Amino acid sequence: MARLIRLGLLAGCLCYFTLCILAGLEVNNILHQVMIILFILFGLLVVIRYSVLLVTAIREKVKSKTRVDSKWNPSVSIIVPAFNEENLIEASLESLAVLDYPDYEIIVVDDGSTDGTLRITNTVAYRYMLTRIRVISQTNSGKSWALNTGLLHAQGDLVVCVDSDSRLNSEALKVGVQHFKDKRVGAVGGFINIINNNNLITKFQFLEYIIGQNFLRRGLSFFNMVTIVPGPIGMFRREAVQQIGGFNTRKDCFAEDADLTVRLLAQGWRVKGETRMIAYTEAPETLYALLRQRYRWKRGVFQAYFDNFYHLITLPNLKGMAIAAILTFESFLFDIVSFGITLFSLASFLAFAQFEVFIWAIAIIGILDLIVFIFANLGQGHLFSRFWLFLLQKISYAYILLAWGVLSLFDELSSTKMTWDKLERTGGVPFKTEI
C-alpha cells in the first residue's frame, strides 16, 4: 500500500508539472485561469505561513532572554558516534570535556573505525583519567546503531547527541536543560553555526542556517512542535527516547534525527528549540558535496513525514493534524508547487515573452524573505554586509536547491536505492565562536 501511495504521489506531481507547462503555453484558457487561481491561493498560504511564524518567532525570542536557573542541574550524558574521524575527534572531545556544567558524562561510540579514531579517543579519555569520557567500540553498524549503543550505556536523565566534529559553546548544557523543567518536553534542538565560512558555498549555507534557525525553528518552538532536532546538537529526555524505541536502525532511514523527532511528536511529546545551545561544525565546501548531503536530507525528511503521517493524524487532539500539515508543506508541498510555478513561468516566457507570474512570485517571496532576513540578522552587526550575499543566494543557490530537492523527492517516491553518504571533513579549520 505504501508503495502504491508513493507512486500515486509521483504520478500526481508529474501531472501537475505537465499542467503547469500547458497552462504557461496557454493551450487552454480555462486551464490557464485555474492555474493562476491556484498560484494565488498558494501565495496567500505562504503569506499566512510567514506572518504566523514571524510573530511566534519574535515572541519566542523574547522568552529566550529569561535567566538560567543555575540550581537546575539534571544529569546529562553526551553521546558521540564516530566513524573514521581522526582529523576531528580530538578537538571535539577537548571542547566537550570543559563545558560549564557540573554533572555530565561523555560516551564515545567508535563504530568500527579503520583509521586512528579509536586510538585518539582513548588517548583523550586517559588524559581525563576516564572520569568524564567513556569509550565504547563496536563493529561497523551505522550511526543509528552507535547512538542506540550510547543510549544503552547512558546514565544521565537527559541525553545530548552530537556529531563527532561538533564543538559546543560552554553554556550549551546549562541553557538546554532549562526546557526540561516542563515534564512534557521530550527534546530540544540546538543552533548550528558553520566554522568553515570561507567560500561562497559555505557562506550561502551559513546564511541559510541563520535565517532558518532564527525564523522557522523559533516560530515552531513557540508551538512546542519543532520538526527536526538536528544531528550536530540535540538534547533529549532519555525516558522519551526509550519509550519510542530509540533511533531508527533501518538501513534505508536517511535522516535519523528527523525520524526520531517526528516519532516523539507523534507520541505527544513537546519539542522545543534553543538558539543559545550552539554546535560549531563544518559544512560542505563544494557544490557536489552540498548536493550529496541535501539529497540524503531531503529524502530522509520526507521519509520521516511519510512513515509517521498516519500516527500524527490519528492523535486525539488537533496538535497531530497541525504537525502533519506543517510537515506536508515543508517537506513536500512548498517545493512541488514552487517548482510548478517556475515551469509555468518559463513556458510563458518562451512562448509569449511573458514573465508576470514569475515576477509576482519573486516579489512576494522576496519581500517576505527580506523581512525574515532582517529579523534573523538584526542586532548581530552584519545586516548590511550580508545583504548582498542574501540577494545572490536567492537568485542562484535557492533555485539550485529547489530543483535538486524536487529530483530528490522523485527518487524517494520511486523508491530509488540509496546508501549512506558520509561527508568528508578536514578538521583543519580554526575554531571560532562568532555567530
Summarised one tens digit per residue, pLDDT across range 15-30 is 999 999 999 999 999 9
Q: Are strands 158-161 and 234-237 parallel, antiparallel or unpaired?
A: antiparallel
Block residue for cell numbers 530509540: 246
Average pLDDT over residues 160-171: 93
Angle between helices 398-413 and 334-352 (to 10 degrees): 120
Instruction: Label residue 422 by pLDDT band (50, 70, 90).
Output: low
pLDDT at 177 over 90: yes
pLDDT at 149 over 60: yes
pLDDT at 166 over 70: yes
pLDDT at 407: 95
* 168 φ, ψ (degrees, to nearest 5): -95, 150
Query: 182: phi > 0 → left, psi -120 to 50 → alpha, else beta; which?
Result: beta
Mean pLDDT for the chain overall: 89
pLDDT at 251: 80
Q: Specify the higher pLDDT residue, 247 or 2.
A: 247
CA distance 302 to 136: 32
pLDDT at 435: 43
- The pTM assigned to this predicted structure is 0.89
pLDDT at 127: 84
pLDDT at 158: 97
The mean-pLDDT minimum among 65-74, 101-110, 144-153, 340-349 falls in 65-74
- The ranges assigned to domains in the chain are 2-61+321-413, 67-304
pLDDT at 144: 93
pLDDT at 431 over 60: no
pLDDT at 154 over 60: yes
Q: Within 13 A of 238's CA, how many CA atoms are on the CB side?
A: 19
Average pLDDT over residues 369-375: 87
* Nearest in space to 190 (alpha carbons), one of 219, 162, 153: 162
Average pLDDT over residues 38-43: 92
pLDDT at 358: 75
pLDDT at 426: 59
Sequence-separated (6 or more) residues with CB below 8 Å from residue 66: 178
User: What digits encode the pLDDT tens for the residues 315-370?
Assistant: 887 888 999 999 999 889 999 999 999 999 999 988 887 777 778 878 888 888 88
Average pLDDT over residues 416-422: 71
pLDDT at 205 over 90: yes
pLDDT at 74: 95
pLDDT at 428: 52
Between 3.30.310.10, 3.40.50.10470, 3.40.50.720, 3.90.550.10, what CATH number should domain 67-304 receive? 3.90.550.10
Average pLDDT over residues 372-391: 81
pLDDT at 434 over 70: no
Instruction: Label residue 424 by pLDDT band (50, 70, 90).
Output: low
CA distance 86 to 83: 9
Average pLDDT over residues 35-50: 92
The mean-pLDDT minimum among 44-58, 110-124, 153-167, 357-371 falls in 357-371
CA distance 245 to 365: 40
Q: How far, in Å, are 113, 165, 289, 293, 355 from residue 419 at the CA level?
A: 18, 21, 15, 12, 40
Average pLDDT over residues 99-116: 93
Terminal-residue alpha carbon distance, the chain: 46
3-state secondary structure the chain: CHHHHHHHHHHHHHHHHHHHHHHHCCCCHHHHHHHHHHHHHHHHHHHHHHHHHHHHHHHHHHHCCCCCCCCCCCCEEEEEEECCCCCCHHHHHHHHCCCCCCCEEEEEEEECCCCCHHHHHHHHHHHCCCCCEEEEEECCCCHHHHHHHHHHHCCCCEEEECCCCCEECCCHHHHHHHHHHCCCEEEEEEEEEECCCCCHHHHHHHHHHHHHHHHHHHHHHHCCECCCCCCCCEEEEHHHHHHCCCCCCCCCCCCHHHHHHHHHHHCCCEEEEEEEEEEEECCCCCHHHHHHHHHHHHHHHHHHHHHHHHHHHCCCCHHHHHHHHHHHHHHHHHHHHHHHHHHHHHHHHHHHCCCHHHHHHHHHHHHHHHHHHHHHHCCCCCHHHHHHHHHHHHHHHHHHHHHHHHHHHHHHHCCCCCCCCCCCCCCCCCCCCCC
Q: Specify the higher pLDDT residue, 211 or 202.
A: 202
